[in-house]
Amino acid sequence: MSQEIMHIVVNSVDILDDNSGENQNAPTFNHLFEINELKAQSQEKDTIIRKLKDRIKSLSGKDSVENLKKDNDEIETINIELEHSVAKLLSKNENLSKEREHLKLIFNDQFDSIKKTCVRSKEHSDSLIAQINAKSVENSDLNAQLQEKVFAIATMKNELRKLK
């Protein structure tokens, strides 16, 4: 039992003790206890009803409309901020896409240029190898002619010695 009910019961018992011989029509202890319990329940219900009325008033009253308006304004502000953020991101994305396309073009141009340079380098290298091979053949021919001339000179020297 709550302290309030205990206090009421104790007071009721004291009253019964004081009036026990004086008045036979006085309410009985059980009757007083039931009355006090009903009063306590009534007070609890009144408190709940008051709280519910306050809640209803706060939900349906002017404060509620102002709160809803304030919440709506906050939501609109957040939506506007989000729209700006999305617009910025879309713009950034568009710029990145353009930059990516530009880089692709540069890459393709550089790749084509490198490819052409490689082809020219190979052609030039092949040409130089062919020239070296031709010079090598020419050098071999000149060496052969030189050896023939050295041999001819050596033969002439021997014959000149014989003639002397």
pLDDT in tens, 81-130: 999 999 999 999 999 999 999 999 999 999 999 999 999 999 999 999 99
Q: How many domains does the chain have?
A: 1
Residue 142 forms part of a structural domain:
no
Task: Evaluate if pTM is beyond 0.75.
Answer: no
Cβ contacts of residue 97 below 8 Å, gap of 6+?
none
Q: Which domain holds residue 109?
A: 3-126
**Contact 64/58 with Cβ under 8 angstroms?**
yes
Q: How long a stretch of residues is the chain?
A: 164
**Contact 16/26 with Cβ under 8 angstroms?**
yes
Render pLDDT for 38-57 as a digit per residue (tens, 0 to 9): 888 888 888 998 888 887 77
Residue 56 forms part of a structural domain:
yes
Q: At what angle do helices 29-60 and 3-19 cross, to 10 degrees?
A: 150
Determine the pLDDT at residue 148: 94
Token pair recorded at residue 111? 């790749």
DSSP category for residue 128? H
Percent of the chain whose pLDDT exceeds 70: 80
Residue 144 forms part of a structural domain:
no
Kindly report the average pLDDT of the chain as a whole number.
Answer: 83
Token pair recorded at residue 35? 């009355």
